[in-house]
């Protein structure tokens, strides 16, 4: 089993597609990148900690590769937005990959370079070495399952889902 860490704006919004991916064992919402230990959702959301909302993906690398996961990640975000994602603004909603090793970093760098070349636009995805992951409060785990109506409304109001 391997683990990947992606900050894609609202962690509620990027969880479902990974949960449905063959080879993904578990997706956990949490926080990466800041210096404060055990931050809370309200602290991160209010830009107090230097953390980004992040998902931790435990996966079977025999069934799905890091590159495939990164491709899925790119399909669910706006990689050209430097200020956040959709209506979620601020550092905690900016994009990042917290890589575990040089191979993950090189894979992400190559895919970002290819996207920049094909689009002619600058991609704003930070690549940072993984340091620590703090699991978000239970209410944020599998939010789309626990609160389907609110989740659907969030997708539409945020601009992630077009109706």
pLDDT digits (tens, 9 = 90+) for 12-43: 889 999 999 999 999 999 999 998 999 999 99
pTM of this structure: 0.94
Name the residue with tokens 């990959």.
97
Rounded to whole angstroms, the Cα distance separating 23 from 144 reads 20
Rounded to whole angstroms, the Cα distance separating 38 from 34 reads 10
Look at residue 163 and tell me whether its pLDDT is greater than 80. Answer: no
Look at residue 101 and tell me whether its pLDDT is greater than 80. Answer: yes
Rounded to whole angstroms, the Cα distance separating 101 from 5 reads 12
DSSP assignment, residue 56?
E
Assess whether 10 carries a catalytic annotation: yes
Q: Which of 4, 7, 10, 155 is catalytic?
A: 10
Look at residue 152 and tell me whether its pLDDT is greater than 70. Answer: yes
Least confident span in 9-23, 94-108, 142-156: 142-156
């Amino acid at each position: 089993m391997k683990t990947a860490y992606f900050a894609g704006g609202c962690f509620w919004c990027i969880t479902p597609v990974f949960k449905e991916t063959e080879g993904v064992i578990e997706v956990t919402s949490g926080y990466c990148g800041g210096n404060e230990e055990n931050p809370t959702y309200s602290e991160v959301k209010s830009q107090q900690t230097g953390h980004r909302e992040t998902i931790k993906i435990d996966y079977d690398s025999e069934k799905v590769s890091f590159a495939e996961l990164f491709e899925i990640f790119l399909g669910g975000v706006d990689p050209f937005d430097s200020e956040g994602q959709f209506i979620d603004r601020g550092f905690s909603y900016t994009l990042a990959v917290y890589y575990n090793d040089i191979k993950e970093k090189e894979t992400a760098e190559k895919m970002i370079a290819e996207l920049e070349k094909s689009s002619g636009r600058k991609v704003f995805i930070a690549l940072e070495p993984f340091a620590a992951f703090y699991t978000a409060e239970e209410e944020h785990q599998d939010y789309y399952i626990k609160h389907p109506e609110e989740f659907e409304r969030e997708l539409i109001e945020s601009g992630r889902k077009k109706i």
